[in-house]
Chain A
């Protein structure tokens, strides 16, 4: 049961990541390779604030989201004025810089040694330490993040984002501040990714830079594409599929050393197959390479 609870927690964390990335990829048509950077920024902000400053759950969690949003604005302001391809390159650069900073700013992050001993979050006097406590907490946050994404998608703001995705010139001609809208949605996406990072830091109690590399960004992107970009259900399906399927490999008796590589092979194969056979993903509305 503990194992099952762990799977649920990880699926919930990835639902937050996938739903937040879908705001960019599926709703707005912006590809980002920096999602793991914001995930990591959230995790480190929570860990540092909790351990060094003794910040409460709410303070650390909100501060992590604000820091992540502020950094996302620094990324978006210069790069979103450029063509879409350049924004992808800018996010790639941001991801690499973030990985380097997390790995080398020893005073703050302890570099490759990582930060250990993040205490369980205290919420209204209740300290979450049990596996099922984390299940409840992560499901609550995942539900909230998913609802935020759904509310945005269903609102006139979501309509503007989809217009930007379809034809940015149309949105501009109809009086929409497309750059402002993109900056806002990137910030919201980064905030939610930071929330996922905060949850992760509280849950695993130990974080190091290897959990927030470009590979992680690609994994979340794969979840969005496989689940179906632009669909509310897609982020849940994608996260579920890519978290649960590798776990199933354990039951086929693969040793851990082989299972890790098999997992990468599996992700790659599923991604290629989905793009070839079902470019809109399992339940998606928005296909790539139209």
Chain B
């Protein structure tokens, strides 16, 4: 069973307290949304959970393992991957190569096999097939050979998701996955996230678009000034007056 837990996490940037004593036990399945106003600490939480930021205090656990001091690559190896708010991909190479880069267990990423070209062809064939599988999943198969920079913003969001999934992550943290994209693309991405959750992946996303949150999230975590102010079933949390006041206005 997938588990993601943090305990008494705190993180400050100078005088600003981005996370204050955050303790969370993420739901094992389904889609969880983290909402809150700007500066609430949502992205900081994702950064700490994914190993990109070191917490000042507190611990993180992935599948029961203490991952507090794990660098991002070790977390990915454990099955936790994330995307970024600002689109992060390699624009100068094709969509296919972006996803191939992400494919896990590439033996020729080690020096010896790379130099001796051991299993290189077989590995590359497997990577290619794997990358195509994920590009097909997000609907970018036809654009596989296009440069990533040539794709539309929405397609780039899909490409980032495909790359994230190619790491074989079972816990997927998404930072604003639907912000700024066409409603049609929002619908498509939402469908994909539902399929992924249905396959048993843990999906956690940070989002400002409350309509997407309502339609997608099974569980909700509300943050304000670095603290968790509410959590629970999505519909139930959204009805709470303090949430309405703090976030929905």
Is B45 on the interface with A (CB-CB < 8 A)?
no
Name which of A134-142, A175-183, A202-210, A241-249 contacts chain B. A175-183
Beta-carbon contacts of A144-163 to B below 8 Å, as 1s and 0s?
Answer: 00001001100111111011
A173 and B117 in contact, given A157-B110, A160-B101, A160-B109 (Cβ under 8 angstroms): no
Is B230 on the interface with A (CB-CB < 8 A)?
no
The answer to whether B97 touches A159 (Cβ under 8 A) is yes
Q: How many residues of B contact A (CB 8 A)?
A: 39
Which of B81, B108, B110, B111 is close to A174, meaning CB atoms less than 8 Å apart?
A: B81
Is A108 on the interface with B (CB-CB < 8 A)?
no
List chain B residues, Cβ under 8 A from A159: 97, 100-101, 109
A173 and B108 in contact, given A155-B114, A159-B101 (Cβ under 8 angstroms): no
Name which of B13-21, B70-78, B238-246 contacts chain A. B70-78
Is A85 on the interface with B (CB-CB < 8 A)?
no
The answer to whether A169 touches B73 (Cβ under 8 A) is no
Is A166 on the interface with B (CB-CB < 8 A)?
yes
List chain A residues, Cβ under 8 A from B120: 155-156
The answer to whether B115 touches A148 (Cβ under 8 A) is yes
The answer to whether A157 touches B89 (Cβ under 8 A) is no
Is A184 on the interface with B (CB-CB < 8 A)?
yes
User: In the complex, which residues 21-49 of chain B have their Cβ closer than 8 Å to any Cβ of chain A?
Assistant: none
The answer to whether B81 touches A151 (Cβ under 8 A) is no
Report the bound CA distance from A122 to B92 in whole Å. Answer: 47
Report the bound CA distance from A261 to B191 in whole Å. Answer: 68
Beta-carbon contacts of B118-137 to A below 8 Å, as 1s and 0s?
Answer: 00100110010000000000
List chain B residues, Cβ under 8 A from A167: 88-90
The answer to whether A155 touches B108 (Cβ under 8 A) is yes
Closest residue of chain A to B115, judged by CB?
A151
The answer to whether B92 touches A156 (Cβ under 8 A) is no
List chain B residues, Cβ under 8 A from A151: 114-115, 117
A169 and B114 in contact, given A160-B109, A175-B167 (Cβ under 8 angstroms): no
List chain B residues, Cβ under 8 A from A173: 50, 52, 72, 76, 81-84, 88, 164
State the Cβ distance, A178 to closest chain B Cβ, in Å. Answer: 7
State the Cβ distance, B162 to closest chain A Cβ, in Å. Answer: 11
List chain B residues, Cβ under 8 A from A178: 73
Report the bound CA distance from A188 to B124 in whole Å. Answer: 23
Closest residue of chain B to A181, judged by CB?
B109
The answer to whether A152 touches B90 (Cβ under 8 A) is no
Is A170 on the interface with B (CB-CB < 8 A)?
yes
Closest residue of chain B to A185, judged by CB?
B111
The answer to whether B100 touches A175 (Cβ under 8 A) is no
A166 and B92 in contact, given A159-B101, A172-B52 (Cβ under 8 angstroms): yes
Report the bound CA distance from A157 to B77 in whole Å. Answer: 17
List chain B residues, Cβ under 8 A from A55: none
Which of A157, A172, A176 is close to B108, meaning CB atoms less than 8 Å apart?
A: A157
Is B212 on the interface with A (CB-CB < 8 A)?
no
List chain B residues, Cβ under 8 A from A175: 72-73, 76-77, 81, 102, 104, 167
List chain A residues, Cβ under 8 A from B81: 173-175
Closest residue of chain B to A166, judged by CB?
B90
The answer to whether A157 touches B114 (Cβ under 8 A) is yes
The answer to whether A174 touches B127 (Cβ under 8 A) is no
List chain B residues, Cβ under 8 A from A89: none
Is A48 on the interface with B (CB-CB < 8 A)?
no
Is A171 on the interface with B (CB-CB < 8 A)?
yes
The answer to whether B101 touches A169 (Cβ under 8 A) is no
The answer to whether B73 touches A176 (Cβ under 8 A) is yes
List chain A residues, Cβ under 8 A from B89: 167, 170
Report the bound CA distance from A188 to B147 in whole Å. Answer: 30
List chain B residues, Cβ under 8 A from A157: 108-111, 114
Report the bound CA distance from A178 to B72 in whole Å. Answer: 10
Can you name 7 A-B residue pairings with CB atoms under 8 Å? A152-B114, A155-B109, A156-B127, A166-B91, A167-B89, A170-B90, A173-B76
A sample of 13 more A-B contacts (CB under 8 A), given A151-B115, A166-B92, A169-B88, is A156-B109, A156-B120, A163-B90, A170-B89, A170-B101, A171-B101, A173-B50, A173-B52, A174-B76, A175-B73, A175-B104, A176-B109, A188-B111
The list of the 9 closest CB pairs from A to B, nearest first, reads A175-B76, A155-B114, A157-B114, A174-B102, A172-B72, A156-B106, A177-B73, A156-B109, A156-B108
- Chain B interface (Cβ < 8 Å from any Cβ of A): 50, 52, 71-73, 76-77, 81-84, 88-93, 97, 100-102, 104, 106, 108-111, 113-115, 117, 120, 123-124, 127, 163-164, 166-167
